[in-house]
Structures are given as C-alpha cells and as structure tokens.
Amino acid sequence: MSSRDLSALDRTVFQPLARLLQEAFAHGLENDLIIGKMVSGGSAQSLYEVTDTQNYEIGATRITRDFRVYQYAKSDGACISGQGAEITAIGLVSYQACDADHAVGATTINVPACTHDAITENELKGGYCIIYNGSDNNVQFRRIETNEAADANALFSFTIDGGLNEAMVDSTSAIEVFQNPLRAVHTSTSDTKPVAGVPASKITAADKYFWLQRSGPCWCAPQGTVIGNEGKGVYWRHDGSLDDPESTFGLTTGDVPAGCTSQYAGHLLEGDYAGVGPLLNLGR
C-alpha cells in the first residue's frame, strides 16, 4: 500500500466497484487489492505463490493494477497453468422441501435429513443456496457464511449472508445447496465440468492453495483453428484449451465435435496460433 493519503477516496459502498477501484489506484494504491479475509494464522501469499497451507478464504478476490482478477482456490488434483482448471463440485443438496418454518430476517437455515455427502465444519463457506417459495419462480439466493459438520444424509444448518425477505414455510418452501465452487478444482479432460479459470502457476497435486485467474489478459493453450479468419470469440474445450466458434458449434458438420463445449472463454487481444500468443482477455 502506498504511503499517500487515501482520505479523499470515495467510500460510498453503493458506488460501482470499477469506480471505487479507479479512485483507489488514483489516490496511491500501488499493490494488488485483495477482497476477502485472511484466515487465522495465515500470511500474505503472492500472486504466483503456491502453498500447502491456506492463507485466505476460498474465493477471496485479488485485483491487480491492470485489472486482472483472480480468486483464491484449492486444488483436488494437478492443474496446468496454461489451461483452464475445472470445477469438481456438482451441488450438495438437490431440491428438498424444508421441514420447519423460518421467519423473515432469519439468517440460520435448517436442512432436513436428505441425500448428501458428509461435510466438515465451514466446508460450505463461500458456497450458495437457493430458497424456493414453492409456488412461483421467486427465489432467495444467498451466500453461505458458516455451516456445522454433518454426517452423510444427516440434517444440518448453515448461516447466510443476509436475512430472509420472505418467510420459509414448512413443507412448502424448498432449498438447494451448493459447495464453494473454488474449493476443488483441477485440470482434466471431462467435457461435463465447467472451467473455473486459469491457474496463475503450475499445480502439481491436490490440497494446494493458489490464485486462479477469472478475467483480464492472460494466455491459454489454443487449438490450431484459433486463427484470424475464424473470428475473435474463443471457447473452452474439454481439456481447458481454447477452440474457435466453428469447431465449437460444429458449423461445418451440423454436430458439435467430441471434446468441444459451448462455454465462452473470452476473446483474443493480440496475436493468434499462427503468430504470437495469442493473448486472451479472459471472460466470465
């Protein structure tokens, strides 16, 4: 952090984040900006550093001066630093009717005994829940802050980042629960898993903590069809490399080729496979 006076920084929390960041850098913020807590006993972890111990909350966001955006992640396998890393989580609790009323303003949610994996204390922190009212498409979407440990299929509770606006009604309201998507990522060749982002460094094994790029300029391995006359849009392949729209959508054959997905990865900033790079602006 610069030693310059930041007192003139507009601190209105409702200002767009981009404006706040611009003002922060303009008033002397020289280092990366990290949004998220350092865990108890944690220490500063540089952008390209890989550690065996956790230093920040999973999902903490890091923004560089050139507006590359990274999030703190944990591996459940090796990750290639020039390819996209995939999300392993597939959701913890599928649509489940609640078995208790929850009043407006409640921040603790009870999940009845149902099919799910065992969870450790606060394993769901940074995950999400969808609360359905059971009658229409109005839902309450919340981030999970804490959770109690639970055996497989056992009832459990968790807290959310904001109180309920609408009461949950026993046997009418329902809930779905998702793990933190960045708690388990790796590089593979599955065409059913979404790509989370590009690791800032090579990850050799499971249970490593590192920064995962989510947007901004980067490089990611392109297929040979990623050339100027194939357009500027690029898409993730099953192995975390990039492909062109024609190959992705099977426009020459009418069928999507094996190994191609339709997840948008971003667009080319400079160069192509036949020349330099390419340099990619990573989109979300």
- Residues 88-99, mean pLDDT to the nearest whole number: 93
Domain contains 16: no
Domain count, the chain: 3
Q: What is the 3-state secondary structure (H, E, C) of 1-12?
A: CCCCCCCCCCCC
Indicate yes or no: pTM above 0.75: yes
More confident residue, 244 or 177: 177
Domain contains 9: no
Same structural domain, 198 and 253: no
- Residues 93-120, mean pLDDT to the nearest whole number: 96
> At 15, is the pLDDT very low, low, confident or very high (cuts 50, 70, 90)?
low
Contact yes or no for 74/199 (Cβ under 8 A): no
Cβ neighbors of 52 (< 8 A, separation 6 or more) are 207, 208, 209
Same structural domain, 204 and 74: yes
Cβ neighbors of 71 (< 8 A, separation 6 or more) are 59, 60, 61, 62, 182, 197, 211, 212, 214
Domain contains 162: yes
Cβ neighbors of 192 (< 8 A, separation 6 or more) are none
Domain contains 78: yes
Q: Which domain holds residue 153?
A: 93-178
Domain contains 23: no
Same structural domain, 82 and 205: yes
Contact yes or no for 35/214 (Cβ under 8 A): no
Provide the 8-state DSSP code for 38.
B
- How far apart are alpha carbons 250 and 238 in whole angstroms? 15
Same structural domain, 207 and 235: no
- pLDDT digit string (tens) for 201-240? 999 999 999 999 999 999 999 998 888 666 678 899 999 9
Per-residue exposure over 84-111, b if at least 16 CB sit within 10 Å of its own CB, e if not = bbbbbbeebbeebebeeebeeeeeebbb
Same structural domain, 123 and 254: no
- Residues 105-133, mean pLDDT to the nearest whole number: 96
Same structural domain, 59 and 105: no
